[in-house]
Amino acid sequence: MTEEKKANQQWGGRFSEAVDEFVARFTASIDFDKRLYRHDIQGSMAHARMLHKADILTEEELGSILNGLQDIKEEIERGEFEWSVALEDIHMNIEARLTEKIGIAGKKLHTGRSRNDQVATDIRLWLRDEIDHILAELERLQDGLTELSVKENKTIMPGFTHLQVAQPITFGHHLRAWREMLVRDHSRMVDCRKRMNQCPLGAAALAGTTYPIDRNYTAEQLGFDAPTANSLDSVSDRDFAIEFCSASALILTHLSRMSEELVLWTSQQFDFIELPDRFCTGSSIMPQKKNPDVPELVRGKTGRVNGHLIGLLTLMKSQPLAYNKDNQEDKEPLFDTVDTVKDCLRAFADMVPHIKSKSENMRAAAKTGFATATDLADYLVKKGLPFREAHEVVGKAVAYGLDCGKDLSEMTIEELQQFGAVEEDVLEALSLESCVEARNHIGGAGEG
């Protein structure tokens, strides 16, 4: 049988000539959608059981189909399956091989369904599993941050606004800020998974089917919460893919922000931390270099994922109901987003627990830039001065410090008394530890 004949045997009854060779390659998706094979077979097995329950398949036919599909799965996993571009996609490749193996019963499997609801089901099954992997990696990274933050809970460092020294905090507090980002990311992924966990199978091409199918049974077989509610929407909806890419873009945005700080902190200008050698590379020409390549690459891959989100939004923005061939373009950006997010989370989850702080450098940096200025103002307020007046007084003290090259913590009690009614206890109030510990409310730098 020629490739053209094989291509036409699935849907070619209406056509008088074979598909152009270039068009066959141009419209085929098998090169990328073959990764859906497990979920395509999973969906087909559930559909076959439902057809048997509806008395459309005999017991013998069901057994033959299930055994044949299992054999095909094993062939694929052994690398023995021959993929055909002429058969366009994962669904027709598997169905053709099934028919070749078991005969006429293989042709009955497609009763009551279409490739439209089949692919919508496959993608949801696949993405549901991938989200579970991503959730596990998010949890592993959160655990790593928690472990490191406990270790660094007393390590003083400067907090920044506008990338300028603002107030003293701890490295542990900063790490917990990163963790909060990931908590939100985890919640969004859980929500995304819940919304997408509805079964399109049974919507057929767009209007449903005339066969007495049981969509609740199929949904239950596949672990979905329920069948989708409208057949038109079932086959044309890609909201779940867009929502996933949106949540993924936020994950990468958060990892990119973390990466930027890691890159800054490993530089000689900051010298706050050291990354393990196994997550860095050197230079081909400069032997002294230790480059933070993993954070830099994660930072770069953020643009890739953001681009996929925009691509999917653009793909769907003008599509009329129901299914259109445009939707074949959803898979490559979705697949790449999943791969990228998983790799980036794995890299961070592996790397973060092994970050080493350079606590002396962090502490020295926290003593620059008048980081305790707000604490001096608060001290004056507690002595009875209105805050706005205290703000002005401390501003003058900072100006004095700039002139003489002294930080507030380096000034004597006599120098500080030029600017307000301070007493001996001001020196303790301006210590870095006191400034952090004073903020011991919920969410403050001194909490925990």
Q: What's 79's domain CATH number?
A: 1.10.275.10
The predicted-structure confidence for 395-415, as pLDDT tens digits, reads as follows: 998 899 899 988 888 888 888
Last residue of a domain, one of 362, 394, 413: 362
The pLDDT value recorded for residue 7 is: 47
435 within a domain of the structure (yes/no): no
79 within a domain of the structure (yes/no): yes
Residues 213 and 350 placed together within one structural domain of the fold: yes
Last residue of a domain, one of 78, 111, 144: 111
Query: Does pLDDT of 133 surpass 90?
Result: yes
Cis, peptide link before residue 136, omega less than 30° from 0: no
Q: Which of 52-56, 134-138, 227-231, 385-389 has the lowest mean pLDDT?
A: 385-389
| 3-state DSSP percent of the chain in helix, strand and coil, to 5 | 65, 5, 30
Residues 254 and 219 placed together within one structural domain of the fold: yes
CA distances from 250 to 179, 184, 322, 375, 438 (A): 14, 9, 30, 35, 33
Q: What's 425's domain CATH number?
A: 1.10.40.30
The predicted-structure confidence for 265-288, as pLDDT tens digits, reads as follows: 999 999 999 999 998 887 667 767
Residues 306 and 386 placed together within one structural domain of the fold: no
Q: What's 170's domain CATH number?
A: 1.20.200.10
**Average pLDDT over the chain, rounded to an integer:** 92
User: Looking at the 3D structure of the chain, how many domains does it have?
Assistant: 3
| 417 band by pLDDT with thresholds 50, 70 and 90 | confident
Query: Does pLDDT of 5 surpass 60?
Result: no
Residues 249 and 199 placed together within one structural domain of the fold: yes
Residues 342 and 393 placed together within one structural domain of the fold: no
Question: Pairing state of beta strands 198-199 and 226-227?
Answer: parallel
Residues 138 and 226 placed together within one structural domain of the fold: yes
The pLDDT value recorded for residue 424 is: 84
Could you tell me the residue range of the domain that residue 341 belongs to?
A: 127-362
What positions carry a catalytic annotation?
162, 283
The predicted-structure confidence for 183-241, as pLDDT tens digits, reads as follows: 999 999 999 999 999 999 999 999 999 999 999 999 999 999 999 999 999 999 999 99
Q: How many CB atoms lie within 10 A of CB 36?
A: 25
Q: Which of 145-149, 250-254, 292-296, 421-425 has the lowest mean pLDDT?
A: 421-425
Residues 297 and 416 placed together within one structural domain of the fold: no
- The dihedral region occupied by 79, where left means phi > 0, alpha psi between -120 and 50, and beta the remainder, is left
